[in-house]
Each structure stands twice: as structure tokens, then as C-alpha cells.
Amino acid sequence: MYLLIKQAHISFAIISISFFVLRAFWSVTESAKLQQRWAKIAPHIIDTLLLGSAIYLMMTTEQYPFADHWLTAKFIALLVYIVTGTIAIKRGKTAGVRLLFSLLAIATFAYIVAVAVTQTPWFL
């Protein structure tokens, strides 16, 4: 069961960042597609599944943020990703700001993946 949930978690992460990149592109180009109902709902469903699988994996392996440094780094980076992603998609006032924060969010996501793969926070 663990390997199935781990694979699902990886798949949800890939789908999540793919949706983010698409929505960020629409945000920067000011496309009306960003306002489509599915574009607003689907990321929440995928991210909920991603978080649920993360919690399952955390409980199964008994590794927790603030106890395991690499999970602490992932947790903090997740908060940074949420803030930068929100500015990229919704809160950025200009296309330039939205582009900058899109790139920052993508870089943060890449850091999260690197920490997950190496199980080391690098900077902590």
C-alpha cells in the first residue's frame, strides 16, 4: 500500500505543477481561460489529494515536520510555494509581477522535489 500511495503522491505532484504552469501562463497572458470553472476547481482537488497522500506517507513512515529536518524544509518551502503561487495566479497586479512570482513558485516547487528525492534540506 505504501508504494501505491507514494506513486500516487508523485503523480499528484506532477499533475499539480502542470496545472500551475498552465494557470500561470494564462495569468501572465491575461487569458479568460483562467476564469473557467474547471480551472478554478481542479487544482484544489489535485492539491487536496496531494496533501492527503503526503499525510498518509508521513504517518506511515513516522517522519514528521519539525522532527525530521528535510520534512521541515519541505513544509516551509510549501508555504513559500503557496504564497508565491497565489501572487502569480491571483494577486499580482501586473503581468511582470505575475511572471516573476510564477518563476519563483516553480523554483520553489523544484526545491521541494529535490528535498524529497535527497531527503536533505541543503540549507538547514
Residue 84 DSSP code: H
Q: What is the pLDDT of residue 83?
A: 98
Q: What pTM did the predictor assign?
A: 0.91
For the chain, the domains span 2-118
What pLDDT is attached to residue 124?
Answer: 52
pLDDT tens per residue, the chain (124 residues)?
A: 999 999 999 999 999 999 999 999 999 999 999 999 999 999 999 999 999 999 999 999 999 999 999 999 999 999 999 999 999 999 999 999 999 999 999 999 999 999 999 999 986 5
Contacts for 67-72: CB closer than 8 Å, 24+ residues apart: 69/120, 69/121, 69/124, 70/115, 70/116, 70/118, 70/119, 70/120, 70/121, 72/121, 72/124
- Report the pLDDT value the prediction gives residue 123, as an integer from 0 to 100: 61
